């Protein structure tokens, strides 16, 4: 079988086996031996076979061991399981579909596990999902009425909205320098993320590189105008242009590097000057005070300010509460996030509208972007409430 015939990740097949989302009665191995599942095993999140501790009755004989899942039978050899003693305990090799050649796989000890082709036994809803996922454009569930359940959709977007917040907190932690003081490391995470946000989307990496260069050169000034000028000199110095690789094509003039660099530098200065004790005491409302310390000419537009507030500042406040054991800070940041309604670009809304979903005000939040990027585009349908609603109905 060729991998392109199965449009999903192996994790979908693992989920199918784990939840027994197939017709378990009258299933047989490829060589015709009936299989009865007494215990389908426990998902293994480490190295080795996918499921451990399974109990299967195959051809009337009882087997205790492991189950390995692959989208293609050839992956057994591709992953070099034939050389790994850990796979000697595999009693069943479950694949989506087998090839006409009927390839036999070997364990390291020279014996071979039996193979089960699961495709013929999948529930109809799963078959529909796999067929829908082969579309070249749009969401996997586009145009299929059985997937359009508005209540499930809104529930899923709410889940995605919360997940996105946690994702942004984790993004901040990736730049956390534990060698600094907690407050100093937190502030650097916040400033670094602000630069990246102001580079969205074509200049994110360039803004990140710029921030590192500013730190290396230890830019310092007593006033915001001088600091901004110093940062501009670094950003657009002839010797730095090739490394920073600024992009102008495909973006609006307001998002040109010449504008965003000034705005990032001004916010950088303001955040450094703002008392950390005030942020610890007040939390999210300090955002207004930080902005008020920046001249209007150096502030980004309203939509960008809202984006930084929601995707950078609120997750940073939550992280600050985590670092200083402040439940109040964490709760207030999460509450603000859940009640916020960041405008979602039409290009993100469009696939959902075309699939037949009604985008109410509650659904027009950043969870929609998270849903598209990390569920729909990655074909993680089996984790989605919309699909779960279909297969449970």
What pLDDT digit, counting tens, does each position of 191-242 carry? 999 999 999 989 999 999 999 999 888 777 889 999 999 999 999 999 998 8
Q: Pick the more confident residue, 140 or 112.
A: 112
User: Confidence class of residue 363 from pLDDT cuts 50, 70 and 90?
Assistant: low
Residues 261 and 189 in one domain: yes
Asked which of 122, 143, 161 is the last residue of a domain, the reply is: 122
Residues 258 and 109 in one domain: no
Q: Is the pLDDT of residue 3 over 60?
A: no
Residue 34 belongs to a domain: yes
Compute the distance between CA of residue 308 and CA of residue 326 in angstroms, rounded to an integer.
Answer: 22
Q: What is the mean pLDDT of residues 149-161?
A: 90
User: Confidence class of residue 1 from pLDDT cuts 50, 70 and 90?
Assistant: very low
The residue count for the chain: 393
Domain range holding 32?
3-122
Q: What is the mean pLDDT of residues 119-131?
A: 78
pLDDT recorded at residue 11: 86
Residues 105 and 24 in one domain: yes
pLDDT recorded at residue 4: 44
Q: What is the mean pLDDT of residues 350-368?
A: 82
pLDDT recorded at residue 389: 79
Residues 91 and 204 in one domain: no
How many of the other CB atoms lie within 10 Å of CB of 84?
Answer: 15
Residue 134 belongs to a domain: no
Residue 143 belongs to a domain: no
pLDDT recorded at residue 65: 95
Asked which of 80, 97, 122 is the last residue of a domain, the reply is: 122
Residue 375 belongs to a domain: no
pLDDT recorded at residue 393: 62
Residue 167 belongs to a domain: no
pLDDT recorded at residue 2: 42
The percentage of the chain sitting over the pLDDT mark of 90, rounded to a whole number, equals 62
Residues 89 and 188 in one domain: no
Q: Is the pLDDT of residue 177 over 70?
A: yes
**pLDDT tens digits, 61-119:** 999 999 999 988 889 999 999 999 999 999 999 999 887 555 678 999 999 899 999 99
Q: Pick the more confident residue, 8 or 36.
A: 36
Range among 8-22, 266-280, 371-385 rated most confident: 266-280
Residues 63 and 211 in one domain: no
- Between strands 34-39 and 114-117, the pairing is unpaired
Asked which of 122, 149, 171 is the last residue of a domain, the reply is: 122
* Total tally of structural domains belonging to the chain: 2
The percentage of the chain sitting over the pLDDT mark of 70, rounded to a whole number, equals 92
pLDDT recorded at residue 269: 96
């Amino acid at each position: 079988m060729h991998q392109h015939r199965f449009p999903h990740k192996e994790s979908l097949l693992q989920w199918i086996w784990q939840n027994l989302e197939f017709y378990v009665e009258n299933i047989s191995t490829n060589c015709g031996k009936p299989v009865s599942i007494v215990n389908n095993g426990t998902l293994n999140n480490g190295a080795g076979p996918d499921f451990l501790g399974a109990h299967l009755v195959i051809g009337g004989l009882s087997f205790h061991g492991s189950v390995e899942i692959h989208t293609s039978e050839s992956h057994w050899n591709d992953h070099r399981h034939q050389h790994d003693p850990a796979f000697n305990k595999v009693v069943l090799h479950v694949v989506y579909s087998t090839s006409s050649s009927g390839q036999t796989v070997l364990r390291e000890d020279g014996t071979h596990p039996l193979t089960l082709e699961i495709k013929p036994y999948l529930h109809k809803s799963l078959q529909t999902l796999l067929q829908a996922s082969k579309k070249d454009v749009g969401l996997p569930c586009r145009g299929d009425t059985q997937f359009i359940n508005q209540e499930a959709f809104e529930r899923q977007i709410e889940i995605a909205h919360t997940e996105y917040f946690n994702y942004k907190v984790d993004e901040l932690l990736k730049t956390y320098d534990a060698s600094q003081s907690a407050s100093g490391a937190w502030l650097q995470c916040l400033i670094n993320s602000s630069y990246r946000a102001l580079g969205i989307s074509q200049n994110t990496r360039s803004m990140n590189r710029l921030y590192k260069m500013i730190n290396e050169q230890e830019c310092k000034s007593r006033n915001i105008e001088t600091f901004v000028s110093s940062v501009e000199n670094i950003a657009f110095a002839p010797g730095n242009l090739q490394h920073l690789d600024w992009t102008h094509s495909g973006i609006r003039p307001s998002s040109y590097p010449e504008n965003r660099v000034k705005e990032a530098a001004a916010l950088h200065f303001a955040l450094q000057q703002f008392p950390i004790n005030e942020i610890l005491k007040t939390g999210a409302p300090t955002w207004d005070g930080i902005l008020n310390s920046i001249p209007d000419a150096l502030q980004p537009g309203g939509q960008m300010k809202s984006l930084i507030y929601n995707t950078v500042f609120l997750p940073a406040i939550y992280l600050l509460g985590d670092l200083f054991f402040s439940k109040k800070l964490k709760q207030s940041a999460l509450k603000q996030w859940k009640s916020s309604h960041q405008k979602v670009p039409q290009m993100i809304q469009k696939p959902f509208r075309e699939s037949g979903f009604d985008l109410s005000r509650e659904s027009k939040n950043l969870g929609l972007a998270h849903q598209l990027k990390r569920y729909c585009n990655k074909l993680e349908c089996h984790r989605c409430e919309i699909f779960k609603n279909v297969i449970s109905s």
